[in-house]
Amino acid sequence: MNRRGWSDDDIGILKQLVRRNTPAGKIARALRRSEGAVRQKARALRLSLNLSAWSKSEVRKLKKLVRQKVPLAKIAAALQRSAAGARQKAYSVGLLLNPRAWSKDEVVALTKLARRKTPAVEIARSLKRTEQATRQKARALGLSLNSRA
């Protein structure tokens, strides 16, 4: 193992880059150290490399895009976040990303198709819903689609 100590200059650069919200990988390249070494030193200095904190302006933009019914993938791209991160933040601030409620006709159709043992994929396609949403609604209704592809 090739270990070298951290100079005061290295620590100063690390602190400066962390304050600028530079990703750990870029800091590691700038300091010519491994990302693990950078993370370990940052932790020892009680510096946060967590870049996932949401600014107030990002939350406002998220709320605006959700209200405009922009698809999740586009919201994530606009905010330069992962889809999972955008979804999680939306739920944490009380937003519904897919507020399209199930109509009575859709529930009746789902029930009939499930009782006929129609595959979940076909049910979803006929209802113009995702397979996941269809399975989730079926589960909430006490219908089983588990054995079907």
Position 19 pLDDT exceeds 90 = no
Position 1 pLDDT exceeds 60 = no
Residue 88 has a pLDDT of: 85
Position 98 pLDDT exceeds 60 = yes
Q: Which two tokens stand for residue 75?
A: 């919201």
Residue 148 has a pLDDT of: 52
Distance CA 107, CA 123 (A): 11
Tell me the C-alpha to C-alpha distance, in Å, between residue 139 and each of 117, 122, 132, 134.
14, 17, 11, 9
Residue 52 has a pLDDT of: 67
Query: Burial code of 126-142, b = ≥16 C-beta within 10 A, e = fewer?
Result: ebebebeebbebbeeee
Distance CA 72, CA 65 (A): 9
The share of the chain scoring above pLDDT 90, in percent, equals: 53
pTM for the complete prediction?
A: 0.41
- The tens digit of pLDDT for each residue in 30-65 reads 999 999 999 999 999 988 887 667 889 999 999 999
Q: Which two tokens stand for residue 94?
A: 């009380």
The share of the chain scoring above pLDDT 70, in percent, equals: 94
Which of 17-21, 50-54, 103-107 has the highest mean predicted lDDT (pLDDT)? Answer: 103-107
